[in-house]
Structure 1
Amino acid sequence: MSKLYSGDIVAGLRCLIGQTVSIYTTSGGCSGSGFTGVLVYVDDCVVKLITRIGTPPSCSLGTACCPPGPAPYRGYGCEPFVGLGSVTIIPVDRIAAFVQNAIG
């Protein structure tokens, strides 16, 4: 990929930080199907997408809304934080195409 072409992709993606995009790569397998997420970082080498948002805590006040005691005896909504989410890092030189929302 030429430097000019790579720079055009980077410039285009920088304008989309904070928006949901789909990025298709030149790789095969599952990664060749593309990645969709919120674009959070772009530089000349890589882009980062949040592809899965982590789950929030079940109670914003910590354990204050859950009665004390072992798990089977606590009420509904006292589950611990279980989902950390995921971030996908894609090398710029492997980007084949990206898709953005038509309304912006």
Structure 2
Amino acid sequence: MADVAYGGYDLVSDLKCLIGQTVSIYTTSGGCSGSGFTGVLIYADDCVVKLITRIGTPPSCSLGTTCCPPGPAPYRPYAGEPFVGLGSVTVIPVSKIASFVKNAI
């Protein structure tokens, strides 16, 4: 288990209070990851925190409507639409967190 209390300050307790909010977390690593990660905090425990860093694209219409007619297999309900992405979740070890930024209010 990571040492998460620094001089009486409990980092994980503060992060748990921010679940559902947008935060930026900076790590002690180098390269692109050292620039930090910004996303919606969805999970925090003594070992890791998880951020949704990119929201996936929703379907453009509900199934069964004229824009997504049923068809024989293989069924491609979104044929012709550009693929944007499924989204992403970033998992950060608590022991590698250098700092985090939250909204003041």
What range describes the TM-score normalised by the shorter chain of this pair?
Answer: 0.7 to 0.9
Deviation string, structure 1 residues 9-57 (Cα, Å, up to 9, x no partner): 1011000000000000000000000000000000000000000000000
Aligned to 2:74: none
Distance (whole Å) between structure 2 residues aligned to residue 42 and residue 48 of structure 1: 7
**Percent identity for Structure 1 against Structure 2:** 74
1:39 is aligned to 2:50? no
Root-mean-square deviation (Å): 2.6
The structural deviation recorded for 1:62 is 1.4
1:87 is aligned to 2:98? no
Aligned to 1:64: 65
The structure with the greater share of residues assigned to helix is 1
1:18 is aligned to 2:45? no
Q: Which 5+ residue runs of structure 2 have no aligned equivalent?
A: 72-79
- How many residue pairs were aligned? 95
Q: 1:57, 1:81 within 8 Å by CA — same for their partners in 2?
A: no
Distance (whole Å) between structure 2 residues aligned to residue 67 and residue 96 of structure 1: 47
The code of the aligned residue for 2:57 comes to T
- 2:46 aligns to what SS in structure 1? coil
- 2:81 aligns to what SS in structure 1? coil
Aligned to 1:98: 100
Q: TM-score, normalised by structure 2?
A: 0.78
Q: TM-score, normalised by structure 1?
A: 0.79
C-alpha spacing 1:3/1:42, structure 2 compared with 1 (3 Å): closer
The code of the aligned residue for 2:19 comes to I
The code of the aligned residue for 1:57 comes to P
